[in-house]
Structure formats: C-alpha cells, structure tokens
Amino acid sequence: MAKLYFYYASMNAGKSTNLLQADFNYRERGMATMRWTAAIDTRGEQPIASRLGLSADAHLFGPDTDLWSAVTTRHEQAPLACVLVDEAQFLSPDQAWQCARLADEANIPVLCYGLRTDFQGHLFVGSAVLLGIADTLVELKAVCHCGRKATMNLRLDEHGSAVRSGAQTQIGGNERYVALCRRHFAQGLGLYRSAAGAPT
C-alpha cells in the first residue's frame, strides 16, 4: 500500500536536497518518478534547486492544476514509482487530497516537502491539510543561531528588520528570511513582553 508523506521544516533545513536525494535513489534503480513544484517560486533557472547546488527540472503546479489527472495520465504511459512535490505548502486543499488519492487509489507513493508555517507563525493551507491527512509526518531539522532547533521563519525587510504584516507569500531566500527557534522568532516579532510591557 502506497503512502502519503509530508516532510516539513523551516527555511534552510534541506527540504529540496532531501527531495532530490530521494528522487536520485529511485532513478538510480531504474524507477520512474515525477517531480512537481509550485509555479509561484521563480528564484532559480531550475524549478527545484537546493542550497548545496543540486537541481532538477520539474512540472509546475498552480492553483488550478489537476495533479490527479496529470499524474495518472503519465502513470498510464509509463508506471511511476514515486511522485515528489516540492514547495507543498502552496498546494490547495483539493490538491493535497489529490496527493492522498494518488497513494490510496493509484498506489503511487507521494512525498511532499514544504514549510509548515509562514512568517507570522500561521500554518500554510497546503501544510495544514497535509499535517492532517498524511500517513507519515517527518520533521527535518534546521538550527537557530542559538543552537536550538529552528522551527519558524522570520521575514526581513530590506534593512534587516522583522516584518510583522503583509502578504503570506513573498518569494525569497536567505536575503529575505531567517530560520529561528520559537523563542527568537517571538522576540523578533516583539511577541514576548515583560511585566513592564517592554520586549524581553
């Protein structure tokens, strides 16, 4: 029985690197895969690229992409051993359920990789659904500057100051986001205050 996996983490935890390694392992054994990533992410020449310099082409999904139809059509032409989805936080609820259906009804393992929360600590819609329905949840680890596990993504403006409001999605890398533990994330946003009302 195939499963739906959700690998989640903060920025810079190696999500794309892990996806590309898993993809390589399948292909090295002669098994066909199908890679997907969000069309909204236009940072690199290759649709999937890791900070280590690994990259690969991929199919792009937008809000109206029917993943079930696209994958099953390809699967009928040449059997797929696995489907891998990068930037899975941008999946719509319907698309997340299509990933589950691919595992349940087409018997194709689906490996989704994405951020859990945005720059305000709110769940992304796609991530929220995957956290609820995935067979297997795997947290990939990043490290805060203090040495603790980084679980949050702080957005920075052009001056390096924390951004507290705005659109949920703003494409960027290390120049725009920093991965922090919950404590330093909350301090960066001024969420933790002393009895006197001053940030701690």
Domains in the chain (CATH in brackets) are 4-141 (3.40.50.300)
Active-site position among 87, 105, 158, 175: 87
Across 29-39, average pLDDT: 96
pTM: 0.87
């796609």: which residue's tokens?
126
Axis crossing angle, helix 93-104 with helix 67-77, rounded to the nearest 10: 30
Q: How far is CA 194 from the centre of its chain?
A: 34
* 175 is an active site residue: no
pLDDT at 152 over 80: yes
Half-sphere exposure of residue 47, counting CA atoms within 13 Å on the CB side?
17
160: left (phi over 0), alpha (psi -120 to 50) or beta: left
Beta bridge partners of 154: 178
Q: What would the pLDDT profile of 40-82 be if each residue is shown by its tens digit?
A: 865 555 578 777 778 799 999 999 999 999 999 999 999 999 9
Q: Are 2 and 109 in contact (CB under 8 A)?
A: yes
